């Protein structure tokens, strides 16, 4: 199975990147047409995932060097800075009142600031798997606090999304938020569960596309503007 994944990885990465771009643009169109603020936050999260996928895909054609390294650092900054937007997405889904949403945004803003700092603190080194060159965090050079924050942001917001998604599913009969978090969680866990940690960047791309798809489905089914 590992050999099959590696053999199809370069082409598949570009396909997933294209799907990510299409879904990202669709979310921004939902925001413009229906004035759904949740679609804007979802679109921004999706954009961060698209950029991540794009730079990883460029690793199939670009050589190791300063260009790919320079393009790679924003991957970490955007991920840590934009993934906390899942919190206001959850607040909207739960229908929190104005005071609750303000509180969520204060917390989100603080986490985003810390996340951006953690992203910029990342020290990168090239790694090659199956002909794909990517710049990943360097153990021992990236500060421990940065690594800890990045790990927390990789799973914490997803777990919150799943929990809130269950509540929204029960109260509003809308499973999309839960399914978006579940898809991301499952594909993020597949690599370590199968002993393919070096392929985690590739396997998790499937979860990212599914998460954004369920975001789009959630926004598509919404009627009217956010309240």
Residue 187 clears pLDDT 80, i.e. is over it: yes
Q: What is the CATH number of the domain that holds 34?
A: 1.20.1070.10
How many domains, in total, are found in the chain?
1
Q: How far apart are CA 190 and CA 197, in angstroms?
A: 9
Tell me, yes or no, whether 226 lies in a domain.
no
pLDDT at res. 34: 84
Residue 13 clears pLDDT 80, i.e. is over it: yes
Q: How far apart are CA 202 and CA 2, in angstroms?
A: 12
Task: Return mean pLDDT, the chain.
Answer: 94
Residue 154 clears pLDDT 50, i.e. is over it: yes
What are the tens digits of pLDDT across the range 76-86? 999 999 999 99
Tell me, yes or no, whether 120 lies in a domain.
yes
Tell me, yes or no, whether 139 lies in a domain.
yes
Model confidence at 225, in pLDDT bands (50, 70, 90)?
A: very low
> In sequence order, what are the beta bridge partners of 132?
129
Residue 223 clears pLDDT 70, i.e. is over it: no
Tell me, yes or no, whether 1 lies in a domain.
no
| Domain that residue 74 falls in | 10-221
């Amino acid at each position: 199975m590992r050999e099959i994944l590696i053999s199809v990885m370069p082409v598949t990465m570009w396909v997933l990147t294209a799907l990510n771009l299409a879904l990202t643009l669709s979310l921004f169109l939902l925001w413009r047409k229906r004035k759904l603020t949740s679609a804007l936050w979802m679109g921004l999260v999706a954009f961060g995932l698209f950029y991540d996928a794009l730079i990883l895909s460029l690793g199939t054609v670009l050589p190791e060097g300063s260009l790919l390294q320079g393009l790679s650092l924003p991957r970490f900054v955007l991920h840590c800075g934009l993934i906390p937007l899942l919190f206001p997405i959850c607040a909207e889904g739960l229908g929190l009142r104005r005071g609750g949403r303000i509180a969520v945004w204060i917390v989100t803003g603080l986490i985003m600031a810390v996340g951006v700092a953690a992203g910029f603190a990342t020290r990168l080194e090239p790694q090659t798997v199956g002909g794909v060159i990517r710049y990943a965090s360097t153990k021992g050079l990236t500060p421990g606090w940065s690594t800890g924050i990045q790990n927390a942001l990789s799973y914490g917001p997803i777990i919150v999304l799943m929990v809130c998604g269950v509540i929204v599913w029960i109260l509003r009969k809308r499973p999309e938020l839960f399914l978006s978090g579940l898809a991301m969680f499952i594909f993020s866990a597949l690599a370590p569960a199968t002993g393919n940690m070096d392929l985690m960047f590739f396997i998790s791309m499937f979860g990212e596309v599914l998460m954004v798809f369920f975001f789009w489905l959630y926004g598509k089914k919404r009627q009217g503007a956010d309240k």
